[in-house]
Amino acid sequence: MAAGWPEAVGEPSQDRGGSAEVAAGRTELIVATYRPGPDVPARARRQFFYIAQRTELGALAREELLVVVSELCANAYVHGEGAIDLRVWREDSHVVVEVTDAGRWGRYAGQTVALERVAESGRGLDFVRAACDGGSIHCQPSGTTVRCWKRLATETTRIA
């Protein structure tokens, strides 16, 4: 597994159709496939916003992951190929966001790379890294999957 990726969060989806087995302790929140188009980030944001309100994520974490969903879907539309799959699930103490497309990232072909090790020129992945607790990019012949996770709040912070 990539560095920084907790064992409890599982493996990437094995196919592009959203039919990966649901692991114990895992609750699917979103499984969606979008046809490529400029409206994909907005559609994904709306769907995530609706679902995220029903999770244990705090308001700031929901807002951060809303932008993460938008950035990853925008990247898949601009840089990827074919349909864009969005999967969001809760697994144990994390919310996981995964975006897959049929594009190939030549530099990382056949590799799984920790998100913090990827150096790109845009700001989108920088924000994703800052907003999430970890992540990875899986580059396979069938396409690219970017996955990141955010820990659910375990304690309430008191303001003195």
* Residue pLDDT, tens place only, 40-63: 999 999 999 999 888 778 889 899
Mean of all residue pLDDT scores within the chain: 79
pLDDT value at residue 53 = 86
- Give the predicted TM-score (pTM) of the model: 0.79
Region label for 45, one of left (φ > 0), alpha (ψ between -120 and 50) or beta (otherwise): alpha
CA 6, distance to chain mean position in Å, is 14
pLDDT value at residue 15 = 39
Closest CA to 30 of 14, 53, 7: 53
For domain 26-151, say whether CATH 3.10.129.10 is its number: no
pLDDT value at residue 77 = 93
Instruction: Determine the Cα–Cα distance for residues 141 and 104; give it in Å rounded to an integer.
Output: 7
Q: Which residue has the higher pLDDT, 42 or 18?
A: 42
**pLDDT per position as a tens digit, 83-138:** 999 999 998 888 999 999 999 877 777 778 887 777 666 678 888 989 999 999 99
Instruction: Determine the Cα–Cα distance for residues 149 and 152; give it in Å rounded to an integer.
Output: 9
pLDDT value at residue 108 = 75
Instruction: Determine the Cα–Cα distance for residues 26 and 147; give it in Å rounded to an integer.
Output: 15
pLDDT value at residue 16 = 37
Percentage of residues of the chain with pLDDT beyond 90:
44
